[in-house]
Amino acid sequence: MTRRSNDDLVMRGVTLSVGQGGEAIPILVDIDLEVPAGSTLGVVGESGSGKSMLAKSIMRLLPSSMSLSGSITIGGQEIMAKSPKELRAMWGSRLALVSQDPMRSLNPVVRIGRQVTEAMRPKMGLSKKEAFEKGVQLLREVGIPSPEQRMRAYPHELSGGMRQRVCIAMALACEPDMLIADEPTTALDVTVQRQILDLLEAEQQSRGMSLILVSHDLGVVAGRTQQLAVMYAGRLVEVGATRDVFRSLKHRYTDALLRAVPRLNAASNIDLPNIPSAPGLVTASRGCSFAPRCPAATDVCHDQQPPFASGEAASHRYACFNPVTGQASPGSSDGEPTEPFKVALRQGRQSNGR
């Protein structure tokens, strides 16, 4: 499929907050990101870092109690200026979302076929028969056996992996320019996780669409994305080309995430590295949000918000007063330092059965 050359997604100063007790509680703070057309961006961070809210902000799928500001454009179109009717016209054809819980994403009392095809008919001008045939084709494409039969099934009659494949088929139904996959392998066993990730990768490449892959697994993003954005407490803390970030990671939180990933070749009787428990995620602190958990934090980290600095590559930037220097990544099985990208990629393959 040929994509428009100007389908870049650009976010500038995106801030999301929710009103509570008469004050605005920040959820996302001053997000600046660019996703070139046809590329893949990985967004990583632990639970509560703001990854899912970033995905929903791009779609503008937010409750009325939340306030969103800044600029989000795709192909030069300002999403923030769109009316609800205009947003509905964009969903499916320009932007599509695969949520992390397929059972909650599917209507339990509506057959799969209707859910897969209901957006096709008004958006693509298909007849009922044409939409059904395209739905069957989509289910076959995402690896669901006996697709004609599954079109007549209800969600509870499918396994978790098959339900996630249905959600992917629904997201692809109107041929979107950008697909956002919000932790699409949650609650799936490792074999199915790999199949889903392989499927998303194959669809992204064959369709030429952009893909935002939200995950907490550095191994997943190391092997399947071109760009990487690390989030903590609603802020971006490190951004760049995936290989550049892993080759020369700078932020202490990125380093801590990589160290905390268990390795299959590690001895079974050693304690795993961990990140100290958080006193609270998004806070009104004027300093670095990660400072209370960072072993390298100094007074300036607690008093000032670190500005973005440039790494060795032009596109690599990080917000840290005391960045990682030298080779501080986990070692190999023989104790020698190993390139962080290779460590994360190997660990991701191990965890996904590759």
Predicted TM-score of the model (pTM): 0.88
Q: Is residue 338 part of a domain?
A: yes
**Are 206 and 246 in a shared domain?**
no
Phi, psi values for residue 14, rounded to 5° = -75, 120
> Are 73 and 163 members of one domain?
yes
Mark whether 44 and 134 lie in a shared domain: yes
**Same domain, yes or no, for 129 and 256?**
no
Q: In terms of residue numbers, what domain contains 247?
A: 231-264+285-351
Q: Do 60 and 144 fall within a single domain? A: yes
Return the pLDDT at 231: 96
8 A C-beta contact, residue 214 and residue 52 = yes
Query: Do 55 and 191 reside in the same domain of the chain?
Result: yes
**Does residue 251 share a domain with residue 171?**
no
Q: Which amino acid is at 327?
A: Q
Strand order across the 235-241 sheet: 95-98, 178-182, 210-215, 40-44, 227-232, 235-241, 317-318, 309-310
Q: Is the dihedral of CA 247, 252, 257, 258 positive or negative?
A: positive
Q: What is the CATH number of the domain that holds 163?
A: 3.40.50.300
Give the list of residues 6+ apart from residue 255 with CB closer than 8 angstroms, or none.
249, 324, 328, 329
> What is the chain's pLDDT, residue by residue, as a tens digit (354 residues)?
444 446 899 999 999 999 877 788 899 999 999 999 999 999 999 888 999 999 999 999 999 889 999 999 999 999 999 999 999 999 999 999 998 888 788 999 999 999 999 999 899 999 999 999 999 999 999 999 999 999 999 999 999 899 999 999 999 999 999 999 999 887 778 788 888 889 999 999 999 999 999 998 887 888 899 999 999 999 999 999 999 998 899 999 999 988 877 776 767 777 777 887 765 544 446 799 999 999 899 999 999 999 999 988 888 999 999 999 865 444 433 333 445 666 666 655 555 555
297 and 178 assigned to the same domain: no
Pair (206, 249) in one structural domain: no
208 and 293 share a domain? no
